[in-house]
Structures are given as C-alpha cells and as structure tokens.
Amino acid sequence: MKSALLALMLLLPAAPAAAQSARVLAPAEPLRAGPGATVLATMAAGAVLRVGAPQGGWREATLEGWIAAASVRGDAASNGVVVTVPGGEDIRGTPGGAAVARAASGVFLERTGESGPWFHVRRTGWVRVRAVALDAPAAGAAPADSAAAAPAVATAPRAGARAGEGGTAILGRPGADTLATVRPFAPLEVLGRQGSWTRVRVEGWVWAPALAGTADSAGVLNDLTAAALIANPDTYRGRVVGWTVQFIALRTAEPIRTDFQDGEPFLLTRGPGKENGFVYIGVPSRLLPAVRRLQPLQRISVVARVRNGRSPLMGAPVLDLVDFH
C-alpha cells in the first residue's frame, strides 16, 4: 500500500475583502468559506457586508457584529474565538440587539473588541453576487473592483522550531479556520514571519485510503453510474462519489424509511447525469440552511458518501451529503 506525504503550511494573509458596502437581499443567505464551500453563517435579509470585486458569480465578503461571550471560547493560536454552541449562535448588529446572522458551531471568528458580556467579531467568507445589493459608494472611495494589495510576508531563513507544551493549531491563514492540530513539541519548519504569526510547515504520513482525489487513493468516483452502484452495492459502500443530480424536494424520514434515522432530513433527487432513477441523500445539520434554499428541479453537483448502494426498501442508492454547489 502506497503512503502519501502530508505537507501543511500556513498560507499568506488574504487581501482585504472590504471595498464597498452591500446588503443581503434574502433571509438565510449563506456566507461560505469559499465559493460553493462550507457554510460559515446564515445571514438575515438586510445584513450589511463589506464586499470585494465579483469573481465568477461570487464576492468575497466580510461580516461584522456582536456575539455573546458565553457562546464562544478563545482560540489560543490567534486573537479570535470559536463558536461552541451546538446549534450555532447569533451575531447581532449591536450588543443584545437584533440578529444579523447566525454563525455555525465550530466556526472561527476574529475578535476585534468587547463590551461587557459581548465580543465584537468579524469573519470573511464568500457570498453569491446575486444575493447582495451594493450600496452607493462614499464620496472619494475606491471602486469595489479595484485591486487591493496583500500585505507582504517577511521571509526568514528556514529554521527548526517545535510546538509548545499544549500543542498548536495550524490555520489556513492568520485568523482563518483550523486545518490541523499538532501534538506537543512536534517539530516544525519555520518558513517566515509576519507580526505575531509564524509561517510553518509540518511533514508526516497519512493513511492513503483516507485521502480523496489523489493518485495514492481511490479518490472521488466521478464516473460511477447509479446503475453500477445498484448492481454492486457492497463494492462501493463507504466510497465517495461526485455526481450531478436534479433536486426534487427536501424530505424528513419517517420510521418506515429504515435507511435513515427517524426524522432525519434527506434530499429526494434524480440522476446522476441523464439517469432518471431516484437517489436519496441524507443531509447533515451544517448544510441544512443552504439546502433549504434549493429550488425544485434545480441541478446541483454533490460530493457524497455511499451509505447503501441499493436500499432494500427503495431499491435506490442512499448517500450522505458531504458538500454541494
């Protein structure tokens, strides 16, 4: 069995997303970690964002507001907090005021101030271009499509370092989400420094079958048909597929649907591609807000894990949704 080398590295800080003010047009609009990626928060209609230039139907956007200090914990690796409430927590326009968004559980927020039992927080993500309306720019302001230069990173000769006694978290960039955690005193390679941040690289080994989309693993099955899956259900159990399906409805499982837990939400879809059979896809709670915005007969691209290649009750594939766009 081949093994794969894992190289994790802090990325350069992103260019500022804020160039122009915009307002969210519809309720429950998701702010995502990237175009079509994981939902960081769902925003209320009228929520104010600072947005950058459009990029392929998406805009980088920054959300700011106030969150109850009791609903987050400090992040030791940065000047930020992580939402700890299982169902997520409201971000408010003012301390104790109306909610402008709801941050998902586990999401990292940059802490920029405090007032009593409230923290002022900020998070940059991505929003659909058509989901926001731009406000009129202030007099003398730079246009939203002007380029913003990213701050330079001070480089340094590569040197060795070790994680601290409590271990450390490796973030995608300063103040971003956690990519991995490093055990106490693990060796790190120092690549550069900027302010209070150090850019590092850590090397190690991961079990190849746990990877997706690499030459050392089975990866995501983009060409597998539903017919082949139904014909060989045990062969593909637990594998990950990449399919384009047609969304029909969001349903809630009844006790008779033994492939699901009672009350579990699932997508009723047809496909993949030109295949016309039904495909049932369980929906995790973190994706429910985005799923609820789907329109009947809309075609979506999903990444999903095979729960049951051929349901005894329905004779169709049952999958678990990993992500979609």
288 and 259 in a single domain? The answer is: yes
Structural domain contains residue 145: no
Structural domain contains residue 92: yes
Q: How is residue 79 written in tokens? A: 């000047």
pLDDT of residue 146: 39
Q: For residue 175, what are the contacts with CB-CB under 8 A and spacing of at least 6? A: 78, 79, 80, 108, 110
DSSP conformation letters of 33-48: SSTT--EEEEE-TT-E
Structural domain contains residue 107: yes
The CB density around residue 260, as the number of other CB atoms within 10 Å, is 21
Domain count, the chain: 3
Using the 3D structure, point to which of 74, 105, 134 is the last residue of a domain: 134
The CA–CA distances, whole Å, from 250 to 247, 264, 265, 288, 312 equal 8, 11, 7, 9, 21
CATH number at residue 238: 2.40.50.140
Range of the domain at 298: 226-324
185 and 237 in a single domain? The answer is: no
pLDDT of residue 256: 83
Using the 3D structure, point to which of 105, 134, 163 is the last residue of a domain: 134
Using the 3D structure, point to which of 134, 161, 184 is the last residue of a domain: 134
Beta partners for 49? 22, 63
pLDDT digit of tens for each residue in the chain (325 aa)? 333 333 333 333 343 334 689 999 988 899 998 888 889 999 999 999 999 888 888 889 999 999 999 999 886 556 788 999 888 999 999 998 999 999 999 899 999 889 999 999 999 999 999 999 988 755 555 444 433 333 444 444 456 777 777 777 777 666 666 667 787 777 888 877 777 778 888 877 766 555 544 333 346 888 899 999 999 988 898 888 999 999 999 999 888 888 888 889 999 999 998 999 999 999 998 889 989 999 999 999 999 999 999 988 889 999 999 888 8
pLDDT of residue 12: 32
Structural domain contains residue 218: no
User: Between β-strands 168-171 and 178-182, what pairing exists: parallel, antiparallel or unpaired?
Assistant: antiparallel
Of 98, 87, 38, 34, the residue nearest 65 (C-alpha): 98
DSSP conformation letters of 131-185: GEEEPPPPTTPPPTTS--PPPPPEEEEEEEEE--TT-EEEESSTTS-EEEEE-TT
pLDDT of residue 260: 87
Distance of CA 308 to the CA centre of its chain: 26
Q: How is residue 225 written in tokens? A: 């048909």
Q: What span, in angstroms and rounded, lies between the C-alpha atoms of 187 and 204?
A: 10
pLDDT of residue 31: 94
Q: Could you tell me if 54 and 60 are in contact, meaning their C-beta atoms sit under 8 angstroms apart?
A: no
The CA–CA distances, whole Å, from 53 to 110, 138, 143, 177 equal 22, 16, 9, 23
298 and 233 in a single domain? The answer is: yes
Structural domain contains residue 221: no
Which residue is associated with the tokens 């159990």?
237
171 and 119 in a single domain? The answer is: no
Structural domain contains residue 147: no
pLDDT of residue 161: 77
Structural domain contains residue 220: no
Structural domain contains residue 104: yes
